[in-house]
Structure 1
């Protein structure tokens, strides 16, 4: 082999020539393409590392530009894993359906197709791994789940992973989600701007722990700008009957003279109705996500953008060859926007 000059940037063609393979094979191997066998992929990756290969940033930018101007051929699939007990329910939530659409559109730009795979009675985690391996699929998106799935000994180390939201305790992998602290602070500010003084937060006790107390944290920070006499304590709903919850909320509203409520609990309008409390005549209402709620004022969490960013993060992991549960955890937060609505009119 002819010695290479020192300080010279190695190209894909140099690596291909040295290993006796095609330029395309080197390119696909470094992008973790399933079209290249695992042994050859490992050989190419090791050699690229040994010679100090680094992508040319200008060529990378040019390739990205060309890709954005063309219709890329679909070359591989990315798996969207649905382990809901009733899997058809997942995408009936407009928020989660928007995650799908955002991720799917972004996947196509990189030459991928997003496919749903269901885990449950008809497909065990072990069987899922067999199917994914046969298909050459090495990247997974994990949407939110209401219950923790039983993953068994699923080999996460074989896959690049990104999850949406914090509802999944396992696998503890990189996450893209709404910025709940910023969104809660935004909501309180916007409610105050509309003439309300005493703003209260209602949230499920379970969700407080699940979300890392982030909505509560944002709400508490926002209350620092409110006179102490107008601050309202958080109403955390435990596991009780609807009747008990309704009475507890009514008592909380009366005790703290609550004028407006911010909540992620979908049943709040029904619970208020049980006690004869009218929206917005008796109390105004705003929600953490206007897509799946019985209120039209609150936060647009931009779920399609969350889906798109989740796919971008996953694509970066694929290109980096990063698989399995990370030792250093990353999260990308997407800030929401305020939406005016009839459930929280401006006060005169």
Structure 2
């Protein structure tokens, strides 16, 4: 059921739309008794003001213009110092896509570093409310994400990774499962038959093992394709990789980290003549690779669209039914795989 509008309240009280609007803004031009009656009626029907609309009208009155430059916050909980250079490349693309789309929609997006390497939740809450910032786009957080210290009744938020529970927010992220199936199909189509998957254990767990699940499930339903046990490590290290590579002898490796190609070469592999490498996130590497583009710029843009839509609906606070919007990766050809 939609919230009542000012016009509906005005009709029920027999007052003009302008009088009700000014009474709700505590305007001294409205008789105190009328102001009190309007506010009581608004409270009774559950009316809530839309801060975005209010800010827009204020700006229009000041500038006599329909152009509005509101501000959104891109919250970076870990900060650049708390991530690897590979992860930072991905986060920068997310923020770039978000900022560009925000500007197209009339907003300015500002990045704020929070958490242990930035300002505290309490200080952040004060800053955001003082500046009238209601929309928060959260960049992916490496550990357990906890931003419950903010007073979310004032904010709408969207998370740009798979899952956040403190608080549970709407999220936008890559479709990891579908993207893995796509990559495996692509590699089989190129003539690779012994695929080896290498994953960082913490990364895989944060996504509820979607990369690994898709890899296993695809091979279970395509028994003619040989499935090798994935290598999942707390930290991907050279010694463990070389031992696995020599034991399992994959003809193509799927991994986020391009440096494993150096270890493959040490084992005698020639890329792409004898072995192939598929990068699971080409945005995180500077080395040209074939593999998956998870489209972080598009993810950031879609997150901003969802966020601004929530602000227009005045949907603040943790949603009762948080949803996840997923975007499939696109394939990028590169020199690390042979041609058909």
TM-score relative to the length of structure 2: 0.75
Farther-moved stretch of structure 1 (130-139 vs 303-312): 303-312
Contact 2:77 2:139 in 1 (8 A): no
Relative distance call for 1:179 and 1:188 in structure 2 (3 A) is same
Farther-moved stretch of structure 1 (333-342 vs 285-294): 285-294
Contact 2:6 2:17 in 1 (8 A): no
Report deviation, 1:190: 0.5
Residue of structure 2 in register with 1:221 after alignment: 217
Residue of structure 2 in register with 1:263 after alignment: 255
Secondary structure of the equivalent of 1:291? helix
CA offsets per residue over residues 216-254 of structure 1, 9 Å max, x none?
122123223543561112111224xx6xx3233233233
The two structures, once aligned, show a CA RMSD in angstroms of 3.6
Q: Among residues 318, 321, 324, which one is paired with 2:311 in the alignment?
A: 318
Relative distance call for 1:302 and 1:152 in structure 2 (3 A) is closer
- 1:84, 1:45 → 2: CA distance? 45
Flag structure 2 segments of 5+ consecutive residues without an equivalent.
Answer: 26-34, 48-64
Q: Among residues 94, 101, 122, which one is paired with 1:106 in the alignment?
A: 101
Q: Does 1:327 align with 2:299?
A: no
Residue of structure 2 in register with 1:344 after alignment: 337
Farther-moved stretch of structure 1 (205-214 vs 295-304): 295-304
Relative distance call for 1:271 and 1:327 in structure 2 (3 A) is farther
- 1:250, 1:90 → 2: CA distance? 22
Report deviation, 1:165: 1.1
- 2:206, 2:282 → 1: CA distance? 21
Secondary structure of the equivalent of 2:198? strand
Relative distance call for 1:337 and 1:316 in structure 2 (3 A) is same
Farther-moved stretch of structure 1 (140-149 vs 162-171): 162-171
Contact 1:297 1:340 in 2 (8 A): yes
Relative distance call for 1:316 and 1:46 in structure 2 (3 A) is farther
Contact 1:201 1:262 in 2 (8 A): yes
TM-score relative to the length of structure 1: 0.74
Flag structure 1 segments of 5+ consecutive residues without an equivalent.
Answer: 1-9, 30-38, 52-70
CA offsets per residue over residues 248-283 of structure 1, 9 Å max, x none?
323323333311111123542344355454433442
